[in-house]
A and B are shown apart, each in its own frame.
Chain A
Amino acid sequence: MSSIKEKFNQISPSEFFYRNRDLAGFSNPTRSLYTAVREFVENSLDACDQKGIFPDVHLSIKAIDPEKPDPKPYILTVKDNGPGIETKHVPLAFGTVLYGSKFGLKQARGMFGLGATMAILYGQITTNKPVLVKSSTDGKIQDEFELLLDIQKNKPVILKHTTKEVTKRGLSVSICLEGDYAKAGSKIKDYVYETSLITPYATITFDDPKGEKFHYSKIVNEMPPPPTIIRPHAHGIDVETIRRMMVESQFEIPTIDDAMVEKVRKDLGLAKNNLSFTGIMDKAKKRWKTLSRPVRVVISLMSFLKMDFDKLNKIRIDDIDVPNKKLYYWDFGDSQSKSVDMDPESSYYKQLTGTVQGETLTTFLTKGFQRIGPSTAVKFAEFAGFKPDKRMGTMTNEELVRLSDSLQKFEDFLSPDPSCLAPLGEEPLEKGMKKFFKPDFCAVIQRPASAYSGFPFIVEMGIAYGGEIRPGGPHVYRYANRIPLLYDEGSDVVLKVVNDTDWGRYKVKGEPPFVIVSHICSTRIPYKTVGKENVADRQEIERELRLGLQFLSRKLAAYMSKRGQADMAKKRANLYAKYLPLIAQFSTELAGKTKEPNYKKLLEEEIIVDDK
């Protein structure tokens, strides 16, 4: 263990970065610039979402020396109107790796805030310039920090810290980094455009290095409710997570020192009085319900030791031997180890074993996971071959693996709780699409929540046709957790579902002016690659996409046939106007007449569809 740590300490910042840059999306100046934009914009949007603030995000990219050819250093600034970051957290949040507030199970654009740190580190390595952070949490005072990362110590180096008075709350992060806007530009513009479509409650502006300005105003005035943090679902768990959860649920035997004894005396209302052992026990019994766990443990120990506070001060608890029901302690007075037997029938015994061995399996399950009640827990224990009151602390490694496997295999758990998800909602999606595409026809759907492997997800889809949409569709806009997926679409599950659709069946033909928007929300999007650009074809997700698209396609078909009927009627009227005069002309000569028949009535008549 210690040798690994030493090795880690020897890695230089650039080594650390270069070892991980592909994973984080910083493989070259083009991709790095794009990834950095994404990380900061998404952090800003996430921060606003959490606090229910309509985001107003301003992105700007400026070349330090516009004359230089790409790749060259750029200053990337992202400014928001979010909650800001408290003064004391700023250096840690931006100056350490793996510091973030995003741990926990809920839908968010990014996972741990690691990406932003990587962007800062990338900037620092390529340009040797500090990150500039301006933050105000109250809209009055703003902290301004200039920071460098010290990766070896994983600590921020504060170069400068000033404060000034401001009138607006929010956070602004500015880094200097090597980038290639000539190549990344169109990608970044697409990203900003598509992001504003799926975030219609946000205002996003972008000043690009060539002086172009892109402004996307807020379209809707409702914000989707923020997602809540929830406990994990049994199907989405692994051994490591179980181990971490167990540590949180177990308690150690408190050290019985002066402070601890003081606390017990105080909680029993005996700060001043010195009671005998039996007096103390009586008092504890009366107050048991109000006592905290550590105090209860001390009382339980005292019950077996049969000691009052004075005696307790002269010993040290060494071990609680549950299998042999013995309590070992060191007596300072006699300078020797002693033991007492514990009565297994005593309620104090249960208190102690519970503390040492952790919760029972059923308690662990009902407390630690969503959607598991006591009866499901018991059923599961039977399924997995454990006693329901099996103590978690007594699990061997093999048993933990069995527990983890069984949790994933057991089929009677309720499906995951989707309250941790934050879909956009049908109305904002439809408004956004109408405003963006100005179509003749638009329909949206939000599918009910579903789950794959214990992770809940919701699919939202929209379809728009005609109007100002360019031909050559379907144009597919893919989103996952409100992030646009711009590349690698070939292998994406959404594309697969769209391509499998026989559009002719829905009366969509040729090169239709036609847009499909798909949004998958989940606590974990099953990306196919680390690039996070395409979603793997999980059967459950594919099914929801298919059902959603079928619903929308049917609506589109209904619209198309209505549109087709109107077109047909017009076409037909044109046909009559063209051919009837000819028929009249020919029949006049054939019949040997001079005056044409009066066929005008026929042209005025409303023609009913009678094509067979």
Chain B
Amino acid sequence: MTTNKSKDRKQKANEKQQNIIDALKDHGAKVYGDLDNGQFPKLSIPSRSVSNIVYDKKLRQYILGNSAALRSSRNSSQLRSFTQLMWLAFFANRLTHEKKSSTLRDVYYSSQAFEIEFEDQSESDNIIVDLEAVLSKPREDFHIFPEERSSIFGDLNIEYTIPGYEGKTMNLSNHPDGYAIGPSLTTAELVDTSAEIVIAIEKGGLFTRFVEEQVDKKFKSIIINTGGQAPRSTRTLLKRLHDEMGLPVIVLTDGDVYGEHIAMVIKSGSANAAHLRDLTVPDAKWVGVWATDIEKFKLPTIPMTESDIKRCHDLQSDPRYQEGIWKKELDVFLKIKRKAELEAFSKYGLTNITDKYLPQKLELAKSM
């Protein structure tokens, strides 16, 4: 049973790989053909401008509309970025074939071997997003990863698929500092788990506290530190834990507008990644710290800054914040104009958050 499942997964992963390679080859062949026929090659890139980002209620995430920009090698002002995009496709193709991974920063430096000058990393990052949009696939699929800062802990058995580690297994509760969520983990097979829930938490400090207090055992959970706004690999992993292992996901953040939005991005993605699917966990639940909790638990607070308040107003016009808890908490933040961090619970003792607050919220989450 397990082996079959594993074979299925392996096959799936291979298919995914093949899809990418095929898509890259198609684009390469088209450009090759154009050049050979004396035509200036061009590529159609879905537009990521604000006007082309729309909220899809069915998918419960932001997606790109239908407008696309043509990038032509004939236009001298686009020639450079066209070449950069072609180089990146070429580079991604090699990575995928060789099953090697590269960080965003690696990409920036690798380009220099080919006389492709990127002014800075943000320029190369942009081209990477262009290729994501052209292929409609996240960069992780073609083996490009951001620097990692998030981690995971809990009773979860995985089996690596990356070259050199194929077949190796690991239990993610063996090391109390947790495991960094990187390419090897996101591509690993999720074998089995005794956990019944995934708790995503915004901060490393609280992650450590949760491990110390054995939240994983007490509440049968997998703990994930998102390190602020969750990186895509973390979101991919969250999605896989939800979809493949059937685990519910709850999110615990600071009691401010940014925390609320961290939860929202895990649930329904960001406008920045509107060109990508499969990064969202629509069923994820934000359980705190809510604005109403601040009052309820009499937490020590700090006043909201100008930019906090501005952010509240910005989110008020986001279609996802028009109803339910999202709208309600945003309104309360704006009303009290104060915020509280997760650490605020330490006022009542270091373990208050795990002993009192978390059980309440877990209970609550069942009814959400």
Contact = CB atoms under 8 A, between A and B. Distances in A.
Q: Which secondary structure dominates where chain A touches chain B?
A: helix
A355 to B, nearest CB: 87
A586 interface: yes
A587 B73 CA distance: 13
A592 B33 CA distance: 12
Contacts of A579: 73, 79-80, 82-83
B40 interface: yes
B206 interface: no
Q: Which secondary structure dominates where chain B touches chain A?
A: helix
A570 to B, nearest CB: 11
B35 A590 contact: no
Interface stretch (A184-192, A331-339, A593-601): A593-601
B36 interface: yes
Interface in A559-606: 571-572, 575-576, 578-580, 582-593, 597-599, 601-602, 605
The interface centre, meaning the residue of A585, A587, A602 with most chain B CB atoms within 10 A of its CB, is A587
Interface residues of B, number: 31
Contacts of A598: 35-36, 38
Contacts of B114: 582
A580 B94 CA distance: 21
Given A580-B73, A582-B83, A582-B114, A590 B38 contact: no
Given A582-B83, A582-B87, A597-B35, A587 B41 contact: yes
B221 interface: no
A612 interface: yes
Interface string A499-528: 000000000000000000000000000000
Contacts of A584: 32, 35
24 contacts: A575-B76, A576-B79, A579-B82, A580-B73, A582-B115, A582-B116, A584-B32, A584-B35, A585-B90, A586-B86, A586-B90, A587-B41, A588-B28, A588-B32, A589-B28, A590-B24, A590-B25, A592-B25, A592-B29, A597-B36, A598-B35, A598-B38, A599-B35, A611-B77
A597 B86 CA distance: 15
Interface string B40-81: 110000000000000000000000000000000111110110
Contacts of B82: 579, 583
Contacts of A610: 74-75
B89 interface: yes
A612 B75 contact: yes
B93 interface: yes
B90 A602 contact: no
Given A582-B114, A582-B116, A602-B40, A587 B35 contact: yes
A612 B86 CA distance: 22
B73 A590 contact: no
Contacts of A607: 74, 76
A599 B38 CA distance: 6
Nearest to B87: A586
Contacts of B76: 571-572, 575-576, 607, 611
A602 B83 contact: no
Interface of A: 571-572, 575-576, 578-580, 582-593, 597-599, 601-602, 605, 607, 610-612
A576 B80 CA distance: 9
B24 A583 contact: no
Contacts of A591: 25, 28-29, 31-32
B26 to A, nearest CB: 9
A589 B90 contact: yes
The interface centre, meaning the residue of B27, B35, B77, B86 with most chain A CB atoms within 10 A of its CB, is B35
A587 B24 CA distance: 10
A587 B28 contact: yes
Interface of B: 24-25, 27-29, 31-33, 35-36, 38, 40-41, 73-77, 79-80, 82-83, 86-87, 89-90, 93-94, 114-116
A583 B83 contact: yes
A389 to B, nearest CB: 80
Given A583-B73, A592-B25, A607-B74, 7 more contacts: A576-B79, A582-B116, A583-B83, A587-B86, A597-B32, A611-B76, A611-B77
A346 to B, nearest CB: 96
A575 B80 contact: yes
A135 B115 CA distance: 77
A585 B129 CA distance: 22
Contacts of A587: 28-29, 31-32, 35, 41, 86, 90
A590 B74 contact: no
B143 to A, nearest CB: 15
A582 B35 CA distance: 12
Contacts of A582: 83, 86-87, 114-116
A610 B114 CA distance: 28
Contacts of B83: 579, 582-583, 586
A590 B116 contact: no
A143 B59 CA distance: 110
A124 B38 CA distance: 86
Given A582-B87, A582-B114, A610-B75, A590 B28 contact: yes
Contacts of B80: 575, 579
